[in-house]
Structure 1
Amino acid sequence: MAKVCIFDAYGTLFDVAAAARVAAEEPGREALAEVWPQIAADWRAKQLEYSWLRAITGDYVTFWQVTQDGLDWAMARAGLDDLELRERLLALYWELPAFKEAPFVLARLQAAGVRCAILSNGNKDMLEGAVDSSGLGSFLEEVISVESAGIFKPARAVYDLVGARMGCAVGDVLFVSSNGWDVAGAAAYGFETAWVNRAGAPVDRLMAEPAHILSDLNTIEDLV
């Protein structure tokens, strides 16, 4: 039985589409309102693609840089040349809300004596901003960034950080992510894994499959 529950941050605990959605609801954002779902999807897709490519080439930059680069591509594709909007979207990314069930799930895990932490591609200050604004900090023992490894997930060096920071064995960990590729990497590493498949997508054809597939975070406690 897992004693340590490690969560991915973006898309798992925090709603990455919220920045574009919230901005689109603001007065004077009619151009964004027409295309915000595309912006949100392209932004996330490029953010991840750039992280994988930089991991392959060894050309590491912070996740904040990758996040800015992904937004620039998404805005260019949508034909939005608006510096003020760009700055607003980036500011909102530091205040992403948690999914509604996240604090309740983390509170129940904490009450059950399960140690909880984040392992994320995000750099430390980005993660601190999201954790603080969402109010999840009191439930988390550690917020672990890939910065100290100098490479993005799913590199094994990133998953090594869990044992180093939490002082636990591989077999003690339940790793939770909404990203199928992240779950595949963690499962291949040896963690028990839970894929939060909010979109009902098929399982990725990669090196390992998730041990558990969930529609949201609510049943995590049943696994630990």
Structure 2
Amino acid sequence: MLFVQDDIADKVMGMLAGAMAELKVADPGELSTDVGPVIDADALQILKDHAVRMDAEARLIATAPLSEAAAHGTFFAPRAYELKDLGQLHQEIFGPVLHVIRWKADQLDAVIDQINATGYGLTLGVHSRIDETVDRIASRVNVGNVYVNRNQIGAVVGVQPFGGQGLSGTGPKAGGPHYLLRFATEKTVTVNTTAAGGNASLLTLGD
């Protein structure tokens, strides 16, 4: 999901379409490939069904070309749609589909509220030179990872604990100080020493 301020939305979408036209969808074993296939036929069908709905309910910005090598297999051409509202998405879409929404400068809090209302909160990227805006977003948005003026992948293991909130969360963040406890199982053994018989005082440690 990409929220673009209305002042620059047309320019960004034009650049996006141009960049998508250069993508190569093909065998991921080739160094020149940008996008490989999705994991299986079921995942491909979900994306196809979503594209049919978006074609009817949203505006298609661009579709990346499929190479001849992608004619067979579970390849899906990356595409971008402009939505009117975040409510048009009913679930997370795992695949090369980008959804774009315009927002006006005075609607920032409403945008954050929409994001929080989805219930999902893994990663959010913010691009801004205004520190006040960055701090405002980071403090209000319910996500596990906020990246500022960089891409949204590549968390450094051991330095940037990774994990989400809400429906994107599983508890402690991977690589964080409490994560190791996720792999531990507690066991409690309680022994009633008075039921053992004999002289219980003999079980007492001396000096």
Q: TM-score under structure 2 normalisation?
A: 0.31
Larger Rg: 2
More helix by share: 1
The one of the two structures with greater contact order (alpha-carbon pairs below 8 A, sep at least 6) is 1
